[in-house]
Homo-oligomer: A and B are copies of this chain.
């Protein structure tokens, strides 16, 4: 039992929280395995404490998802001849391949269940969400559905695929220029779609999410059907045809339907993901506007922070709430783009910390880390700042400055067309490597356009081999974490743009930083920065001030002027 639904969502609706219902564990990632005599739950390093608080560990033993993955454990405990059940609606083709291999090594068999045994006994299971679908304005999308489908079909022709099927609601939202309200933090219309190389696509969505007007609109683009008809249509279409499926995203069940119908499965990256990742001029303009709006709210928050926190009454929860209220005051906030990470002192050493009333620390002395973002109809934001409360130690300032050096190295990077995020990732680490340390996450993830704050295939990570292209949005967020003491992360979003370099000998790209908010200067050890790095920071701050000074109000403006003064 994974924590995932048939759309492989990062944020699941309550009706899909089977893992939490079964085990009590409410984290965002995990897998439970229930055998006849024992049960285990596998969670990653973020959740090793939480799992022991939420799960009856006498009945379900917690294990480490990374150090002892379920496949390894199953290989050891499954007896020859054993049959391991799984729900093919909830697990991706790639996950099932791994499970099947583990079973084979143990001499056991992996068996798809025809109905989920949890659903059979979960009597008070909430109904699936029925969030209303809205059109995403083509002025914001920058491209009509017809044009998007033409480009997708041209790509399918190149790939020699007759169709692509997806259960990724982000792909559906992008292709049909729609947004929904089925899950938190991301405006997803939970749905499925089949895109043939020739002819109209089919959208599979619960009709109760569609107004008559929207239904009529969508029916002009393609066929609109209930998800209950998916298997039949998929089987009919797939017969004798080549259907492209992304094994890391498409759940096993649909691969089986296509296979059983005599279709040929072409495994490969979802072509929609790459089309979606490259934002057009309208999307870039939208996200820039969203970042100006969000930056103004963030500056008002920072001004409030500077006034309120020294009074000594603020906590992780109260500060996160204050930030949300400044964003709400924009009047156009759709949602936070993810639950804010509001972390004081040692809590910030946990990169994905999520505050609870039990963990809530007061902001007293040292670093406070706030990683947060917003959804606006024109763009998605994601920003992290590490703020100072009272004094910092030389060690804290050294590490802060090295994280900043890494951030600036990415912000200033120029790279040839064809280069991937994997080729840039180490620039963010070098100043930490120099003194014998590092951070254990990627430098940056892709970001959507009023869609998920985490999207692929673009990323800045040693695993990010997709070439970066102008229009891709990524985060730039190196960090440093010292267990039990403090955590540092500095994050801006960037857009890949063509670089204009006089005398350049080949096409070059660079990042445009779009996040607008001062970077805390108090903990900077200026002696560790090069002249170029100081120049970048001063220029960034000047740009932040010029862009936001008229948008924040008088007192925040005065604070902003000081916060963005040159350090050089």
Contact = CB atoms under 8 A, between A and B. Distances in A.
Interface in A424-480: 424-427, 430, 433-438, 462
B436 A499 contact: yes
A455 B436 CA distance: 29
A433 B416 contact: yes
Nearest to A438: B416
Interface string A485-527: 0000000000000010101111010000000000000000000
Contacts of A424: 426
Contacts of A415: 426, 433
A431 B129 CA distance: 53
B420 A423 contact: no
A504 B430 contact: no
A422 interface: yes
A530 interface: yes
A47 B129 CA distance: 63
Interface in A391-438: 413-416, 419-420, 422-427, 430, 433-438
Interface string A108-146: 000000000000000000000000000000000000000
Contact of A433 (B433, B503, B508, B530): B508
Contacts of A434: 414
A526 to B, nearest CB: 16
A420 B462 contact: yes
SS class, residues of chain A in contact with chain B: loop
Contacts of A505: 436-437
A400 to B, nearest CB: 15
Contacts of A462: 420, 422-423
Interface string A226-255: 000000000000000000000000000000
Interface in A290-337: none
- Which of A415, A436, A505, A508 has most B Cβ within 10 Å? A436
Contacts of A437: 504-506
A434 B508 CA distance: 9
Interface residues of A, number: 28
B530 A435 contact: no
Contact of A436 (B423, B430, B508): B508
Given A426-B426, A427-B426, A433 B420 contact: no
Nearest to A398: B503
A423 B430 CA distance: 10
Contacts of A435: 501, 503-504
A425 B420 CA distance: 12
A481 to B, nearest CB: 10
Contacts of A414: 433-434, 436
A162 to B, nearest CB: 15
A470 to B, nearest CB: 15
A427 B413 CA distance: 11
A436 B414 CA distance: 8
Contacts of A508: 433, 436
Contact of A425 (B413, B423, B506): B423
A62 B109 CA distance: 53
A321 B419 CA distance: 40
- Which of A414, A426, A506 has most B Cβ within 10 Å? A426
Nearest to A416: B438
A422 to B, nearest CB: 6
B427 A430 contact: yes
Nearest to A502: B436
A413 to B, nearest CB: 7
B427 A506 contact: no
Contact of A530 (B419, B506, B530): B530
A504 B436 CA distance: 4
A525 to B, nearest CB: 15
Nearest to A105: B160
A427 B436 CA distance: 17
A528 to B, nearest CB: 12
A10 B503 CA distance: 38
Contacts of A530: 530
Nearest to A424: B426
A438 to B, nearest CB: 5
A198 B421 CA distance: 44
Nearest to A160: B105
Given A415-B433, A416-B433, A437-B505, 9 more contacts: A415-B426, A416-B438, A422-B462, A423-B425, A427-B430, A435-B501, A435-B504, A436-B505, A438-B506
Interface of A: 413-416, 419-420, 422-427, 430, 433-438, 462, 499, 501, 503-506, 508, 530
6 contacts: A422-B462, A436-B499, A436-B503, A436-B504, A437-B505, A438-B506
